[in-house]
Amino acid sequence: MNNIQMNEANKRNESFIRSGEICDHQHSKLKEYYLGTATGDYRCSNCFAEL
């Protein structure tokens, strides 16, 4: 499992939404961090939505 910073995930998710693509969230999970601290949330590695 990989990690992603919350701000980066939010930017990538907004970009994915604008693209109009559809995601079924069957990709791997990314553990979300904010300023180096785990938030307890996970993100889809394809669309970066919170899972």
Whole-model pTM?
0.89
Confidence at residue 41, expressed as pLDDT on a 0 to 100 scale = 97
Paired tokens of 17 = 């939404």
b vs e for 3-36, b when ≥16 Cβ sit within 10 Å of the residue's Cβ? ebebeebeebbeebeeeeeeeeeeeeebebbeee
CB 47 within 8 A of CB 21: yes
Q: What is the pLDDT of residue 5?
A: 98
Q: What is the pLDDT of residue 22?
A: 96
Average pLDDT over residues 3-20: 98
Cα dihedral sign, 34-40-45-48? negative
Mean pLDDT of the chain: 96
Instruction: Convert the pLDDT of each residue in 25-49 to its tens digit.
Output: 999 999 999 999 999 999 999 999 9
Is the predicted pLDDT of residue 14 greater than 70, yes or no?
yes
